[in-house]
A and B are shown apart, each in its own frame.
Chain A
Amino acid sequence: MFKQPPREVVREHMKLILPDRTIRVADPVPATVETILQREGINPLEVMVSRDGKLIPEDTLVSGDDELRIIRISHGG
């Protein structure tokens, strides 16, 4: 699904840590968190997203070096 990028531009690809802790390299375009979540079929209301350990709203623009962690909000109280 993803073309293996040449080594020197690897850092330009965004790292996506999914709720099940698998790591995905996302397309290297500037995009909003919302767009990225939608590509993964995730509703922004059901997760929190942090960049470098800080929570960000879903309409934040992310790109390049960013490392995003998606934290699922499980049901149960």
Chain B
Amino acid sequence: MNPVPVQQDPPACSVCGEPAVIHQRHAGRYLCGTDLVADLEQRVAGTIASQQQVVPGDCVAVALSGGKDSTALLVMLHRLFGSRDDIRLVAVTVDEGITGYREETVRSAADLVRKLGVEHITVSFGELFGDSLDTFLKGRKAQACTICGILRKKALVAGAKRAGATKLATGHNLDDEAQSVLMNVLRGDLLRLVRDSGRESSGRFIPRIKPLTYVQEKEIATYLMVQGIWEDLPECPYAIHALRREVRSMLSGIEYRHPGTMLRLLENKKIIETAFSGKAGGEAVGRCRECGDPCSGETCQLCQLLHSLGR
């Protein structure tokens, strides 16, 4: 046997003293794998309880792209509610049709639901809108995330309806949410935060819930890694065109040097939500003239988009 090289131990877990796997800078402590898993599951259960995101009788559609966030979300929700008779979980996967990217994540999603024994519904852009995202984006790659976002939102809701869901859970994490606040500021459209929040659901929307809102991306990745469910998946090829990419890199740099920045950015969202509660961003919610979906103008974003795509 080779002599064991002298190795410096990592910092000790602030809870149990075992070697830590992560430095939670926002909380000023170190955690080992076991305590990180416990911490995240406790915090997510806390978010769900405090906002009454899931209540007895709910059927929760869990948006499952197969990427890290949605994988962690489904694992956590399954641990929390998997054995409950009064709460049903259904995973919903949207296949946008992105060659060289979606195949792997769709397979990862299928593997996970099989392992957990969760119901699974897949909806594709092809069946819903007549073509793949790759086709829609020919000559308009710069708008990729905007176009995909509108179509995917519709597809998710279609899947959730098919599941008979009363809630739609997505894996948006703290980084995503903080980026969105900043992006809306940069676009001069802060009130979009209120319009998109889906909180003002008056029975016409399936309410959206985001149980991972207060969990950092790195915590989620580490959560999966220490449990052996991390998969190194490709990044969406269209993401290079997105403003989000620049905002993400800038914001994570600031967060590293000034821990807590992301949480504080989210505070702005709460302030605006409170200020505009019940006003839906000053716009009355009506119905789309063409498809009947709830929208703020005459025609919804989706119908406008489909026209511009020549559908």
Contacts and interface: CB of A to CB of B under 8 A. Distances in A.
Interface of A: 30, 43-46, 48, 51, 54-66, 71, 73-77
B225 A48 contact: yes
Contact of A60 (B11, B171, B176, B253): B11
Contacts of B33: 55
7 contacts: A46-B249, A48-B218, A66-B7, A73-B217, A74-B68, A76-B68, A77-B65
Contact of A76 (B19, B67, B222, B232): B67
B10 A56 contact: yes
Interface residues of B, number: 47
Nearest to A50: B225
Contacts of B105: 76
Interface in B87-142: 105
Given A48-B222, A73-B218, A75-B248, A57 B20 contact: yes
Contact of A54 (B11, B19, B30, B172): B19
A30 B173 CA distance: 35
Contact of A57 (B5, B30, B233): B30
Interface of A is mostly: loop
A57 B21 contact: yes
Contact of A65 (B5, B173, B221): B5
A59 B69 CA distance: 25
Nearest to B253: A43
Contacts of A77: 65, 67-70, 170-173, 176
A59 B23 contact: yes
Interface stretch (B53-61, B234-242, B284-292, B293-301): B234-242
Given A45-B216, A54-B21, A65-B5, 15 more contacts: A43-B253, A43-B256, A44-B256, A57-B10, A57-B20, A59-B23, A60-B8, A60-B9, A60-B10, A60-B11, A63-B8, A64-B6, A71-B225, A77-B70, A77-B176
A55 B68 contact: no
B255 to A, nearest CB: 6
B252 A43 contact: yes
Contact of A46 (B10, B230, B236, B252): B252
Nearest to A71: B232
Given A57-B11, A64-B5, A76-B65, A45 B256 contact: yes
A74 B8 contact: no
Contacts of B67: 76-77
Nearest to A44: B256
Contacts of B68: 73-74, 76-77
A12 B69 CA distance: 38
Contacts of B9: 60
A54, A58, A61, A76 — most chain B CB neighbours (10 Å): A76
Contacts of B170: 77
Contact of B218 (A45, A56, A61, A64): A45
B226 interface: yes
Contacts of B255: 45
A58 B221 contact: no
